Structure 1
């Protein structure tokens, strides 16, 4: 039993960081740098990204992003997500945490790295009117959709399973708009109302689509190639992501909230339990800083910035 628990814990760590024995090297380097970065302790971004809710938010984001045919074409035609999905996840986590916790220079270099990787991701797709459209992963319009899906996904998950957000939802949208600007988004939303308005515009203008390729992607996300010990918990987290979606997007994706006969399953409760268990596996029973936050606080202390202790 002890070996099973150790394997389970190690697999969780490898899923999110790429290794089980130590934090990734890039997290340690977040202690370097000559300024405080874009986000500080006590910010809305630190509150959301330092919790466990981004696990659900990330799954939800992937589902939402798949509704844009250009974004989906880029993934299917220019990545090896089927063969090595965890590498793509690890690269995304690296960028998110570097922008969240790193110095300005680190955040900008991480973004340049991602945009360089995006340069060859170009091609064509048919829009909903049968017209040929070009796509590019660095196109501002496509980056806008990706940013909206990310911001909405992380915020929705945190509202359901996270704690208070300093300054509320508007503060998170406003602070994380900087990440959108780094990625070339020209008009990122600055309030939750603007976020809703921009999402509505994509929906009503017919830029989204659910087709066979979307269904294939949804099934891949539903049955992600994880270690067998992680799959029971992941099924609950997938159900949580579906639960958090607006009904119109659930319908487009062909998904529904899990039920047991006439009764809905207690997704909110079971998700809270699973996130708590993951937290125990990654850290400890109480609020414990991850390696990225720890490194960021070391940098801030070195620079003489006020850094409150974590309870």
Structure 2
């Protein structure tokens, strides 16, 4: 096993650590339960890569914090500022459970998140009322997460065809509706239309920079992870569409971005060769062995 393979294994071993919902999910049972997606799905392929999740997740949050109502809800009603590591672990865990967990575990996590969202409402500093369960906001959060993961996978793991990207979005519809997005976009074209719809609402704010600073300093992987986090942030900024990046006052630095592309691309490729424990257990649950990442 190469050094990159070892780092990829460590990343997966620690990402879903310290569940905050009361006990770990048994990904190996009940036998035959394919969960929300199942083998052969694009979600099982894309979400099996920690680099895609890390880079794509940060890029998605940039877009979410650019929307004033989402920004206020996240910043004033979550533990991110006080315990960013726990918040990052909770988000990673939710992705793994809803992707690879058995159906009941996925439904339980969705119900838990929904209950939390029911308590999130208020008014932005600009005077705009909001509730976390607003269908438009739930759709924006759902689609930015999916867009981030699949775009980062395409950039840092392996190139995807247009049909594969469309299939990824289409498959995510069930999960989006379960989380409260009534008509989640089911293709790259529909995602692009939503970006056009939301662009006029996105605003720069110092909180975005504060968020990126926290992420650059915080990692569940110890010293090695903290060395990688600034590269993850650089890659995530570059992933954001250029016009939105400019409007938010963000820019990537060419030298650091080049290092990020080299290091994260290598780690992304290594992770394809090292199916994580959650993936192996999910396949075992349905009597199969993990496909070999190409």
Q: Please indicate, yes or no, whether the TM-score normalized by the shorter chain is above 0.5.
A: yes
Q: How many angstroms does 1:223 deviate by? A: 3.6
Q: How many angstroms does 1:294 deviate by? A: 2.4
User: Using a 3 Å threshold, how does the CA distance of structure 1 residues 265 and 14 change in structure 2: closer, same or farther?
Assistant: same
Cα distance in structure 2, aligned partners of 1:9 and 1:29: 20
Point out the more displaced range, 148-157 or 162-171: 162-171
**Structure 2 residue 256 is the aligned partner of structure 1 residue 273:** no
Q: How many angstroms does 1:146 deviate by? A: 0.5
Q: How many angstroms does 1:193 deviate by? A: 0.6
**Structure 2 residue 174 is the aligned partner of structure 1 residue 157:** no
Q: Would the aligned equivalents of 1:15 and 1:86 in 2 still touch at CA under 8 Å?
A: no
Q: How many angstroms does 1:44 deviate by? A: 0.8
Q: Which residue of 2 aligns with 1:38?
A: 36
Q: Would the aligned equivalents of 1:148 and 1:199 in 2 still touch at CA under 8 Å?
A: no
Q: How many angstroms does 1:105 deviate by? A: 2.4
Q: Would the aligned equivalents of 2:235 and 2:257 in 1 still touch at CA under 8 Å?
A: no
Q: How many angstroms does 1:33 deviate by? A: 6.5
Q: Would the aligned equivalents of 1:33 and 1:299 in 2 still touch at CA under 8 Å?
A: yes
Greater Rg over alpha carbons, structure: 1
Cα distance in structure 2, aligned partners of 1:173 and 1:298: 26
Q: Would the aligned equivalents of 1:33 and 1:106 in 2 still touch at CA under 8 Å?
A: no
Point out the more displaced range, 249-258 or 114-123: 249-258
Q: Would the aligned equivalents of 1:34 and 1:103 in 2 still touch at CA under 8 Å?
A: no
**Structure 2 residue 285 is the aligned partner of structure 1 residue 291:** no
Q: How big is each residue's C-alpha offset from its partner over 1:95-118, in whole Å with a ceiling of 9 and x where there is no partner?
A: 211221123322211100111122
Q: Which residue of 2 aligns with 1:282?
A: none
User: Using a 3 Å threshold, how does the CA distance of structure 1 residues 180 and 33 change in structure 2: closer, same or farther?
Assistant: farther
Flag structure 1 segments of 5+ consecutive residues without an equivalent: 1-7, 280-285, 302-306
> Where in structure 2 are the equivalents of 1:111-126 lying within 5 Å?
111-126=110-125
User: Using a 3 Å threshold, how does the CA distance of structure 1 residues 164 and 248 change in structure 2: closer, same or farther?
Assistant: closer
TM-score for both structures, normalised by structure 2: 0.84
Q: Which residue of 1 aligns with 2:235?
A: 240
Q: Which residue of 2 aligns with 1:68?
A: 67
User: Using a 3 Å threshold, how does the CA distance of structure 1 residues 67 and 233 change in structure 2: closer, same or farther?
Assistant: same
Q: Which residue of 1 aligns with 2:104?
A: 105
> Where in structure 2 are the equivalents of 1:145-294 lying within 5 Å?
145-163=140-158, 165=160, 167-203=163-199, 206-224=200-218, 227-260=222-255, 265-275=258-268, 279=271, 287-294=273-280
Cα distance in structure 1, aligned partners of 2:281 and 2:77: 33
User: Using a 3 Å threshold, how does the CA distance of structure 1 residues 198 and 29 change in structure 2: closer, same or farther?
Assistant: same
Q: Would the aligned equivalents of 1:287 and 1:310 in 2 still touch at CA under 8 Å?
A: no
Cα distance in structure 2, aligned partners of 1:138 and 1:201: 19
Q: Would the aligned equivalents of 2:13 and 2:276 in 1 still touch at CA under 8 Å?
A: no
Q: Would the aligned equivalents of 1:173 and 1:189 in 2 still touch at CA under 8 Å?
A: yes
Q: How many angstroms does 1:197 deviate by? A: 0.7
**Structure 2 residue 288 is the aligned partner of structure 1 residue 310:** no
Flag structure 2 segments of 5+ consecutive residues without an equivalent: 1-6
User: Using a 3 Å threshold, how does the CA distance of structure 1 residues 134 and 15 change in structure 2: closer, same or farther?
Assistant: farther
Q: How big is each residue's C-alpha offset from its partner over 1:211-230, in whole Å with a ceiling of 9 and x where there is no partner?
A: 23333333333443674442
